[in-house]
Structure 1
Amino acid sequence: MNSYDTIVIGAGAAGLSAALVLGRARRRILVLDGGPPRNAPAAHVNGYLGIDGLSPLELLDVGRTQVEKLGIEIRAEAATLVETVDDGFVVDAGDERLHAKRLVLAAGITDALPDIPGVAEGFGVDIFHCPYCHGYEVAGQRLAVVATQPMSAHQVRMVRQWTDDLVFFTNDTIELDAAERRLFAARGVDVVDGPVSQIVRRDGALQGVRAGGAMHEVAAVFVAPTMVLNLEAFAGLDLGMTDTPMGPVVATDPMGATNVPGLWAAGNVADAGSQVIAAAAQGARVGAMINGSLVEEDWAAAAQPSS
């Protein structure tokens, strides 16, 4: 069985950052790349000091090159099964069983988009979920928030920071009482009740939102997808979870360790709201923590009497 000091499951910013730190510590590392990152549809990574505006795929290409220069192997395979064994973990990937002393869970999340025609075609282009990521680029224009879950009311409060021309479509999802409507009106937010039937697009460009039989022209739309953790391979482990307003995430201590000994988690799978810069920082921290645990294990083994 091919054995590694650490297998990193996920090749986004969190996973590659963990691999970079561990590779620089001269550990034998394997990274399993299960597919495109969550932010692949976006044109730019924003809010990341030093690389603001870089394409997310270009960022990962640069990261992969830097990691591979350290002799780290990256495979275009997803982990399909993770099991614990006495000396670590076994991981099924492709047609091979792999062994690792430690694991990094950085598989991220998948955005399950609302079932509204037009959303999927424009997601990451002019339909967004995070104003910190994309608000600046559309600031000052007429923007829309389409309710898809209870958190959408909070999303309205956030998006209002980037424009004073905002319309909120309740979409038969949120009921606003009289006090809330007065507050929205005081902040200059228009409210449109009733279901949204379509996000109207023409020739690849957003035209507006159709609701109640009327067409409302807007420059960009914000929605709140349902975030699904990519944990299929970990179903056999009794991973601790934490409930958050954005949904459940893998529970970790402040250093990224989970309740499963030897398994650390970083990125959106453990912090659904983290942007790319935060995910990368979490991955770097986890890499250092794992190397520290391996250092202590090496010294403990050396302290044992020779047989």
Structure 2
Amino acid sequence: MDHNAQYDTVIIGGGPAGLTAALTLTRYRRRTLVIESPAPARNAASRGVHGLIGLEGATPAELRSRAWEELGRYGLAEPLDATASEVTPMPGDGFEVHTQDGTTVWARNVALTTGVIDLHPDGVEGFAACWGQTVIHCPFCIGEENADRTWALVSDEPRYLGMAATAFKAWTGDTIAIAPPSLPDAQELRRDLRAKGSDLVQGEIVRLHHTDGDLHAVELADGTLLKRQTLLWPQQQRQVPLVERLAEHHGLRLAEDGYVIVDAGRQTSVPGLYAAGDLTGRTWEQGAVPAVAAGAAAADAIHFATLH
């Protein structure tokens, strides 16, 4: 690759948001570079993407392969297998984008579609094997694939735990709540859940008993075994290092909970810098379908901004 190449837009991240933005910009005849880290994608553990018409159940790898086949028809989008390390606004116009392998390119606009980093719990044996299969963060993403099983909702938020008895009946008739021993007002919550046919169990999860990621029991620190087949366990998240550096050094505004703030056109607080996908939305707003919509919206905004 030409280390001094110039593009209309550099997209950082090759998931649903980034690839949709690339396709939209390509059809606007915009020369685009998609930089995607060679590290495993955040959704690599997913058994399939759901809710995208025509792609129901496609694995993340299949989705990317299909996307690049379609992008190849136009010849205006290029992939770069690298980790973006810096995005520097240039005086007057555009950005320099640097990667860890030493590549530097210039672009008039940059779209961040990096996703986020899930912060998995320390010391829970079996968590990694079950993550994305029977330990899920979003019932709307793979609740159907876990239907008719026994569930547990894991959280330290009383209001969220209070949903255990009723909110997930589309997929299961048997859900309990698991909370840490320090949960405030636990007795009141337990009474309420039991009155609705559910329950609250308190304890520290130390092990997930499973067979190749298929959960069958949750072990607590006191030795208690809870026979559960699916855990709805949303994880805390953080931005990737590139986004953190942009916030620290270049004025990229983040919300109080750490997500990137964008306007209706997906532009951030830095002119010419756009963001789409999970890095802009809380857990319940994340997923392939909203990411695709946001990627298209960002591409539209980028195109029309350059017409003025």
Fold match, TM over 0.5?
Answer: yes
Alignment map for 1:1-307 (pairs within 5 Å): 1-34=4-37, 35-71=39-75, 72-85=77-90, 86-93=92-99, 94-115=101-122, 116-147=124-155, 153=161, 156=164, 158-172=167-181, 174-202=183-211, 204-211=213-220, 212-230=222-240, 231-232=243-244, 234=246, 235-243=248-256, 247-272=257-282, 273-296=285-308
Q: Does the C-alpha gap of structure 1 residues 33 and 233 become closer, same or farther in structure 2, counting only changes over 3 Å? A: farther
Task: Report deviation, 1:98.
Answer: 1.1
Q: CA deviation at 1:274?
A: 2.2
C-alpha contact 1:41 1:125 (8 A) present in aligned 2:
yes
Aligned-residue CA RMSD (Å): 2.0
What is the rounded CA distance, in whole Å, between the counterparts of 1:13 and 1:214 in structure 2?
A: 41
Amino acid in structure 2 at the alignment position of 1:201: H
When structure 1 is superposed on structure 2, of 207-216 and 160-169 the one drifting more is: 160-169
What secondary structure is seen at the aligned counterpart in 2 of 1:73? strand
Q: Does the Cα contact within 8 Å between 1:147 and 1:223 map onto a contact in 2? A: yes
Q: Which amino acid aligns with 1:134?
A: I
Choose 190-199 or 19-28, whichever is displaced more.
Answer: 190-199
Summarize the Cα distance change of 1:124–1:77 in structure 2 as closer, same or farther, 3 Å threshold. same
Deviation by residue 1:171-204 (Cα, 9 ceiling, x = unmatched): 3363344432232123322211122221112455
CA distance in 2, matches of 1:117, 1:159: 26
Change (3 A) 1:26 1:150: farther
Aligned-partner Cα distance in 2 for 1:53–1:64: 18
Q: In the TM superposition, what whole-angstrom CA distance separates every residue of 1:121-177 from its partner, at most 9, and x where no partner exists? A: 110121111111111222232111222667752663644553221121113363344
- Counterpart CA distance in 2 for 1:174 and 1:50 is 44
Distance of 2:83 and 2:163 partners within structure 1: 33
Change (3 A) 1:149 1:9: farther
SS of 1:241's equivalent in the other structure is: coil
Structure 1: tracts of 5 or more residues without a match: 297-307
Paired positions, count: 293
Greater shift, 203-212 or 276-285, is seen at 203-212
Decide whether the 8 Å contact of 1:7 with 1:30 is kept in 2: yes
* 2:214–2:229 contact (8 Å) kept in structure 1: no
CA distance in 2, matches of 1:40, 1:282: 21
Q: Tell me, in whole angstroms, the C-alpha distance in 1 between the residues paired with 2:162 and 2:299.
A: 34
Distance 1:45-1:18 versus aligned 2 partners, 3 A rule: same
Distance of 2:157 and 2:249 partners within structure 1 = 30
8 Å contact kept, 1:45–1:53: yes
Tell me how far apart the structure 2 counterparts of residues 227 and 158 of structure 1 sit (CA, whole Å).
Answer: 23
For normalisation by structure 1, the TM-score amounts to 0.88
Gaps of 5+ in 2: none
Task: Describe the SS at the equivalent of 1:189.
Answer: coil
User: Contact (CA 8 Å) 1:108, 1:268: kept in 2 or not?
Assistant: yes
Residue identity over aligned pairs, in percent, reads 30
Q: How far apart, in 1, do the equivalents of 2:168 and 2:106 lie?
A: 46
The one-letter code matched in structure 2 to 1:117 is E
Mapped to 2, the partners of 1:217 and 1:149 lie a distance apart of 22
**Distance in 2, Cα, partners of 1:50 & 1:180:** 43
Quick one: distance in 1 between partners of 2:117 and 2:162? 21
Aligned residues of 1:90 and 1:97 also touching (Cα < 8 A): yes
